[in-house]
Amino acid sequence: MFDHLFSDGYDDLAEGQDFYINKDGYRVMTESFLVRRGYCCSNGCLNCPYDPRAQKGNRKLRPEVAKKYKG
């Protein structure tokens, strides 16, 4: 639905791994993608792994997320 908005840098993402399409047709980024990206964009992502959420540039993972991706 909105794929034309993701033309620079998003073409090589894998559906199911980096994002999924919700029932309204929006691309929802996964927690693992957001962790790999390494910072918060402050858009209030549904799967935001950062604490506090939606704070631009934040790099501090929530404790349970940090444990999951440690290593």
The CB-side HSE value for 52 (13 A sphere, CA atoms) comes to: 3
> In this model, does residue 71 exceed pLDDT 60?
yes
Task: Determine the length of the chain.
Answer: 71
1 burial via Cβ count (<10 Å: 0-12, 13-18, 19+): exposed
DSSP string covering 33-70: HHHHH-S--SS--TT--BSSTT-TT---B-HHHHHHH-
Q: Can you tell me the distance from the alpha carbon of 61 to that of 35, in angstroms, rounded to the nearest whole number?
A: 8
- Domain extent listing, the chain: 3-69
pLDDT at 12: 85
pLDDT digits over 5-64, tens only? 555 555 689 999 999 999 999 999 999 999 999 999 999 999 999 999 999 999 999 999
Record the pTM. Answer: 0.81
pLDDT at 70: 85
> In this model, does residue 3 exceed pLDDT 70?
no
